[in-house]
Amino acid sequence: MSRITIEDKMKTIYFDNNATTQVAPEVFEEIGPYFCELYGNPSSMHNFGGQVGIKIRQAREKVAELLGCEPGEVIFTGCGTESDNTAIMGTLSAKPNRRKIITSRVEHPAVLSVCRQLEGQGYELVEVGVDSAGRLDFDAIEKQVDDDTAIVTIMYANNETGMVFPVERIAELCAERGVIFHTDAVQAVGKIPINLSRSKIDLLSLSGHKLHAPKGIGVLFVRKGTRLTPFMLGGHQEGGRRAGTENVPGIIGLGKAAELAMKNFEEVNNRIKRLRDKLESAILQNCTDSRLNGDADNRLPNTSNISFEYIEGEAILLLLDKYGICASSGSACTSGSLEPSHVLRAMGVPFTAAHGSIRFSLSRYNTEDEVDLTIAKMPEIVNRLRELSPFVAK
């Protein structure tokens, strides 16, 4: 059986941070004692459990500080998907007379599949589109929000292109018209500033493993006064809003990750953006028939989605993998065939380009050397695959 050694790990160049991130060493150190030493149940009456309860309270305060909200507005969940599902289902059951849901065609499946299932159950679903640069059609939302709308759910930033959507403007529009607004901010938190104290957003989802906390911990922000039917019923945890014994290491880890994210926020994200820009512009310049999927502006600082005409994204990934470079492609395997992603299709990216798309997503742990090595390898990989491509005239 093959095992990944420490040396292999050291060779890995990880540009797939929108898929998941490395747990920060400081986070790992912080959560260590909560497995075998301080393993009490935070709900217990004894002091052993009570100490854990105090750490959970502190973690909640840190997350609230990162988001600019009240600690009481933070509900810990099991993941970003659970937060998204709860926000949508919980709002609908709190407003059963309203039958319209508004979302976008480029949401993550954690939102889109819930909305489509609800459409199958009789809800009216409006999916607004994006333009060829991945920019959201705000006017379409403005036209659709009405008295029958139960919820508008639009992501803060897209996971594939990194495009940032005008969610604050949409939240204001919804507030003016008395409609609940939820945003999936799983990709945005920690990468761009978010301040919920100056916002009209009612509900917001985030996920720990996208910001250097462990997997299996999420948050749903619910603004004070927002009616929400709990999704998980049982014990009184999270103020009765999300039952189930808390994922103590996950919560404490997320608290630490939030604290780290706030440290030198601007400086860290500017550095990531500089590396991303260097990688992106060199690839676009050195690889023929390549194009950026997304707008130069209004993008997360860490994400770059590039299409390479006439070749398969999966083939690029395999060759990158030989050098230990991890990225991801814009196709998904559906019933045995590779389908271009729904996001690139919504942008109208031509089939030949959508198939050859690669997403590079960086984090604070990436270095200039890693970027330079990838810049050096990409033209070689692309040219080699083009030589084999049946779509290129020889």
Point out the residues that are catalytic. Answer: 333
Q: How far is the CB of 254 from ligand PLP (least distance, A)?
A: 11
Q: Considering the rule CB under 6 A, would residue 110 count as an interface residue with ligand PLP? A: yes
Nearer to ligand PLP, 300 or 316 (CB): 300
Q: How far is the CB of 21 from ligand PLP (least distance, A)?
A: 11
SS3 319: helix
Segment interacting with ligand PLP, rule: CB under 6 A, options 8-16, 59-67, 75-83, 288-296: 75-83
Segment interacting with ligand PLP, rule: CB under 6 A, options 181-189, 252-260, 306-314, 323-331: 181-189
Chain positions 129 to 158 lying near ligand PLP, rule: CB under 6 A, are: 155
In sequence order, what E strands does 196-351 have?
Answer: 203-207, 218-222, 290-292, 303-308, 325-326, 328-329, 331-334, 337-340
Nearer to ligand PLP, 90 or 311 (CB): 90
Q: Considering the rule CB under 6 A, would residue 305 count as an interface residue with ligand PLP? A: no
Nearer to ligand PLP, 113 or 144 (CB): 113
**Amino acid letter, residue 261:** A
Q: How far is the CB of 80 from ligand PLP (least distance, A)?
A: 3
Nearer to ligand PLP, 43 or 113 (CB): 113
Nearer to ligand PLP, 84 or 370 (CB): 84
Q: How far is the CB of 184 from ligand PLP (least distance, A)?
A: 5
Chain positions 30 to 59 lying near ligand PLP, rule: CB under 6 A, are: none
- CA distances in angstroms from 42 to 47, 55, 59, listed in the order given: 9, 9, 13
Closest alpha carbon to 222 in 208, 236, 242: 242
CB-CB contact of 134 with 347 (8 Å): yes
CA–CA gap between residue 223 and residue 68 (Å, rounded): 11
Dihedrals phi, psi of 316, to nearest 5 degrees:
-60, -45
> Angle 149-153-157 (CA atoms, 0-180°, nearest 5)?
155
CA–CA gap between residue 31 and residue 217 (Å, rounded): 13
Considering only 21, 74, 76, 80, the residue that binds ligand PLP (CB under 6 A) is 80
Q: Considering the rule CB under 6 A, would residue 346 count as an interface residue with ligand PLP? A: no
Residue 104 Rama label (left phi>0; alpha psi -120 to 50; beta):
beta
- For residue 177, the tally of other CB atoms under 10 A from its CB is 14
Nearer to ligand PLP, 287 or 347 (CB): 347
Q: Compute the CA torsion angle 167, 115, 150, 200 (nearest 10 deg).
A: -20
Give residues with Cβ within 8 angstroms of 6, minimum separation 6. Answer: none
Nearer to ligand PLP, 261 or 375 (CB): 261
Chain positions 184 to 243 lying near ligand PLP, rule: CB under 6 A, are: 184, 186-187, 207, 209, 218
Q: How far is the CB of 207 from ligand PLP (least distance, A)?
A: 3
Q: Count residues contacting ligand PLP (CB under 6 A)? A: 14
Q: Considering the rule CB under 6 A, would residue 79 count as an interface residue with ligand PLP? A: yes
Considering only 159, 247, 269, 361, the residue that binds ligand PLP (CB under 6 A) is 159
CB-CB contact of 387 with 45 (8 Å): no
Q: How far is the CB of 150 from ligand PLP (least distance, A)?
A: 20
Please report where in the chains the tokens 């948050």 appear, as a residue: 219
CA–CA gap between residue 86 and residue 225 (Å, rounded): 16
Q: Compute the CA torsion angle 67, 68, 71, 72 (nearest 10 deg).
A: -100
Segment interacting with ligand PLP, rule: CB under 6 A, options 8-16, 56-64, 80-88, 128-136: 80-88
Give residues with Cβ within 8 angstroms of 318, minimum separation 6. Answer: none
Q: How far is the CB of 110 from ligand PLP (least distance, A)?
A: 4
Nearer to ligand PLP, 184 or 259 (CB): 184
Q: How far is the CB of 376 from ligand PLP (least distance, A)?
A: 29
Q: Where along the sequence are the contacts to ligand PLP (CB under 6 A)?
A: 79-81, 84, 108, 110, 155, 159, 184, 186-187, 207, 209, 218
